[in-house]
């Protein structure tokens, strides 16, 4: 049976003690931190190296007039902006080492944050070069623009800028919410075309990347790494892995009016190396679903022959997915994510899940390295029917000796992440998890709700290294 939520009359005083971490987990955390720091340094160093190579190769020699200074600043803006774009491609390439260090969701968060700075730098690049060349040649801007347009490969450069503008504008949250996913995804693919169309003018116009220079070798190397990462990890590896494991839909099982479990069959699926809590990008090869890959977590630990995902219908794409016929071929990319026991640093485990966020929690409980009585779980739903996989979670909690609570009901006018009734009774995150100071906190659910739980956990003194969330993203 699910226990009744404990409550307290008053909020205990917040204390912020340093995490208690066993030796093995401490070493694992330190290795991940070191790898993360090295990756961040490498990304920033790539831009600094591009600027340094330009300046060291005689770039400053032309900074002797107003036109030369404006032109030089424009060149620097273009080099750094292009470097940002290539870094964005690497972050979006689903490279396993990046996922193991920072997680794919966090890599994509950085990818999104770089979009506008990269675009601003590239726009500044074009504007400053136009002004700088005009000042040097003593021409008006229109005449100078015509001259630039007539140079080899420059029309492609202007096309690339237009494509970048389209990609960044459609990626803004306010704009993206109003667009059909199909349209947004099609426009976003133009970023690859933009990178390729920008390359020729870098190699043919001006002397910055002239043939035989170190800069030319460096930039060609950066392009090979960025484009190669996309080709290898987003195209070739998923094809090879999908052909190797030959996964197909075995059956679709509806567990709620808008939630279905897709049972998949294949060969040697245990060799995928997936851990409970991780997710894959799934593509179902039917006439209505083949063009769209969905990031969905496993809802059960894979066996050698079978895997399972559980999907909530949230739009036309997921609706079509839940209606695929048995025998439909499935291709995939993954596994991804740090929502696993590998990210743990503490002796105890606290889990909070809402809605379809219970699916990685269910897989985590099944496959995680948990001692008896080590975990405490809270399931959140607006109604009893919205607490999915409840019977399976109850059985797994009993097997693991975990305490299982539910908070069911609307949140009320004042918001919060618990039900209004539980908050009125004085239930808090500290009363649900009395050993929160010695626990890792795993949270999975809708983004706004997850943010509310994270804010409450931080206010309760939970160390940042102990808060684990996962956002499935493209």
Q: Which of 42, 44, 145, 142 is nearest to 95 (CA)?
A: 42
End-to-end distance of the chain based on CA atoms, in angstroms?
A: 38
Average pLDDT on 346-359 reads 88
Burial state string for 357-376 with b = 16 or more CB within 10 A and e = fewer than 16: bbbbbbbbbbbbebeeebbb
pLDDT at 237: 93
**C-alpha to C-alpha distance for 399 and 370, rounded to whole angstroms:** 11
Residue 128 sits in a domain of what CATH number? 1.20.120
Q: Tell me which residue has tokens 């851990």.
A: 275
Does one domain contain both 354 and 313?
Answer: no
Q: Which of 36, 33, 15 is nearest to 25 (CA)?
A: 33
Give the model confidence (pLDDT) of 267-279 as tens digits: 999 888 888 888 9
Asked, for residue 305, whether it belongs to a domain, the answer is yes
Does one domain contain both 306 and 356?
Answer: no
Residue 323's contacts (CB-CB under 8 Å, 6 or more residues apart) are 252
Within 10 angstroms of residue 143's Cβ, the number of other Cβ atoms is: 12
Average pLDDT on 422-449 reads 87
Mean pLDDT of the chain: 82
**C-alpha to C-alpha distance for 413 and 34, rounded to whole angstroms:** 44
Task: Let me know how many helices (H) and strands (E) the chain has, helices first.
Answer: 17, 11
Asked, for residue 5, whether it belongs to a domain, the answer is no
Q: What is the domain range of residue 206?
A: 23-235
Residue 17, pLDDT above cutoff 60 = no
Does one domain contain both 385 and 433?
Answer: yes
- Using CB atoms within 10 Å of the CB of residue 17, give its burial: 0 to 12 exposed, 13 to 18 middle, 19+ buried: exposed
pLDDT at 207: 57
Does one domain contain both 142 and 156?
Answer: yes
Q: How many residues does the chain have?
A: 474
> Do residues 326 and 251 lie in contact, with contact meaning Cβ atoms separated by under 8 Å?
yes
Does one domain contain both 260 and 220?
Answer: no
Does one domain contain both 216 and 270?
Answer: no
Residue 324, pLDDT above cutoff 90 = yes
Residue that is last in its domain, among 235, 270, 298:
235
Residue 434 — pLDDT band, cuts 50, 70, 90?
Answer: confident
Residue 16, pLDDT above cutoff 60 = no
Q: Enter the pTM of the model.
A: 0.79
**C-alpha to C-alpha distance for 187 and 441, rounded to whole angstroms:** 37
**C-alpha to C-alpha distance for 88 and 293, rounded to whole angstroms:** 20
pLDDT at 22: 61
Does one domain contain both 352 and 308?
Answer: no
Average pLDDT on 364-378 reads 83
Residue 330 sits in a domain of what CATH number? 2.40.30.10
Residue that is last in its domain, among 205, 235, 265:
235
- Using CB atoms within 10 Å of the CB of residue 382, give its burial: 0 to 12 exposed, 13 to 18 middle, 19+ buried: middle
Two tokens, residue 214? 């170190």
Asked, for residue 70, whether it belongs to a domain, the answer is yes
Residue 124's contacts (CB-CB under 8 Å, 6 or more residues apart) are 74, 77, 81
Give the model confidence (pLDDT) of 40-94 as tens digits: 788 888 888 888 888 877 777 778 888 889 988 988 898 888 888 888 889 888 8
3-state SS, residue 267: coil
pLDDT at 10: 29
Residue predicted with more confidence, 192 or 374: 374
> Do residues 321 and 262 lie in contact, with contact meaning Cβ atoms separated by under 8 Å?
yes
pLDDT at 244: 95
| Strand duo 439-444 + 403-408: pairing | unpaired
Asked, for residue 12, whether it belongs to a domain, the answer is no
Does one domain contain both 245 and 330?
Answer: yes
Does one domain contain both 194 and 107?
Answer: yes
Residue 459 sits in a domain of what CATH number? 3.40.50.80
Average pLDDT on 115-129 reads 87
Q: Which of 454, 460, 387 is nearest to 419 (CA)?
A: 387
Residue that is last in its domain, among 285, 301, 336:
336
Residue 167, pLDDT above cutoff 80 = no
Does one domain contain both 109 and 174?
Answer: yes
Average pLDDT on 284-310 reads 89
Residue 264 — pLDDT band, cuts 50, 70, 90?
Answer: very high
Burial state string for 172-202 with b = 16 or more CB within 10 A and e = fewer than 16: eeeeeeeeeeeebeebbebbbebbebbbebb
Residue 218 — pLDDT band, cuts 50, 70, 90?
Answer: confident
3-state SS, residue 354: strand
pLDDT at 8: 39
**C-alpha to C-alpha distance for 129 and 472, rounded to whole angstroms:** 40
pLDDT at 19: 43
Residue predicted with more confidence, 271 or 4: 271
Task: Give whole-number Cα distances, 63 to 47, 48, 74, 85, 437, in Å.
Answer: 21, 19, 12, 26, 58
Asked, for residue 286, whether it belongs to a domain, the answer is yes
pLDDT at 402: 87
Total domains in the fold of the chain: 3
In sequence order, what E strands does 303-354 have?
306-312, 329-336, 348-354
Asked, for residue 213, whether it belongs to a domain, the answer is yes
Give the CA angle between residues 238, 239, 243 to the nearest 5°.
115
Does one domain contain both 226 and 276?
Answer: no
Task: Give whole-number Cα distances, 375 to 161, 337, 464, in Å.
Answer: 52, 20, 19
> Do residues 165 and 219 lie in contact, with contact meaning Cβ atoms separated by under 8 Å?
no
Does one domain contain both 284 and 186?
Answer: no
Asked, for residue 4, whether it belongs to a domain, the answer is no
Asked, for residue 9, whether it belongs to a domain, the answer is no
Percent of the chain with pLDDT over 70: 87
Two tokens, residue 274? 């997936």
């Amino acid at each position: 049976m699910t226990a009744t939520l404990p409550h307290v009359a008053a909020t205990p005083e917040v204390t912020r003690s340093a995490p208690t971490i066993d030796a093995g987990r401490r070493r694992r955390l330190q290795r991940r931190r070191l790898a993360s720091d090295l990756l961040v340094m490498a990304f920033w160093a790539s831009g600094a190296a591009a600027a340094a190579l330009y300046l060291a190769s005689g770039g400053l020699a032309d900074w002797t007039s107003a036109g030369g200074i404006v032109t030089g600043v424009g060149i620097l803006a273009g080099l750094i902006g292009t470097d940002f774009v290539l870094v964005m491609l690497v972050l979006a390439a689903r490279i396993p080492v990046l996922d193991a260090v920072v997680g794919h969701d966090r890599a994509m968060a950085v990818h999104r944050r770089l979009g506008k700075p990269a675009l601003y730098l590239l726009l500044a690049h074009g504007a400053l070069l136009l002004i700088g060349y005009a000042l040097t040649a003593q021409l008006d801007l229109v005449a100078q623009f015509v001259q630039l347009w007539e140079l080899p490969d420059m029309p492609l450069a202007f096309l690339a800028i237009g494509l970048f503008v389209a990609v960044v504008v459609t990626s803004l949250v306010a704009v993206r919410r109003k667009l059909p996913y199909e349209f947004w995804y099609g426009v976003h693919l133009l970023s690859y075309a933009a990178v390729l169309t920008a390359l020729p003018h870098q190699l043919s116009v001006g002397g910055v990347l002239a043939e035989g220079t170190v800069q030319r070798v460096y930039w060609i190397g950066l392009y090979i790494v960025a484009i190669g990462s996309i080709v290898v990890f987003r195209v070739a590896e998923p094809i090879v892995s999908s052909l190797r494991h030959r996964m197909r839909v075995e059956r679709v099982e509806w567990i709620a009016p808008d939630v279905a479990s897709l049972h998949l069959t294949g060969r040697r699926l245990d060799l995928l190396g997936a851990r409970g809590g991780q997710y894959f990008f799934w593509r179902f090869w039917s006439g209505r679903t083949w063009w769209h890959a969905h990031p969905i977590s496993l809802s059960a630990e894979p066996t050698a022959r079978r895997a399972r995902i559980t999907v909530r219908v949230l739009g036309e794409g997921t609706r079509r997915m839940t209606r695929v016929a048995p025998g439909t071929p499935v291709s995939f990319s993954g596994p991804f994510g740090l929502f696993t026991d590998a990210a743990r640093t503490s002796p105890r485990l606290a889990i909070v899940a809402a809605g379809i966020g219970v699916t990685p929690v269910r897989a985590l409980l099944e496959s995680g390295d948990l001692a008896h009585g080590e975990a405490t779980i809270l399931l959140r739903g607006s109604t009893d029917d919205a607490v999915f996989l409840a019977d399976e979670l109850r059985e797994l909690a009993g097997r693991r000796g975990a305490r299982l609570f539910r908070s069911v009901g609307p949140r009320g006018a004042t918001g919060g992440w618990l039900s209004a009734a539980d908050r009125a009774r004085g239930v808090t995150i500290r009363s649900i998890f009395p050993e929160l100071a010695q626990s890792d906190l795993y949270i999975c659910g809708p983004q706004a709700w997850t943010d509310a739980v994270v804010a409450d956990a931080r206010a309760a003194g939970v160390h940042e290294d102990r808060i684990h969330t996962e956002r499935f993203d493209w």
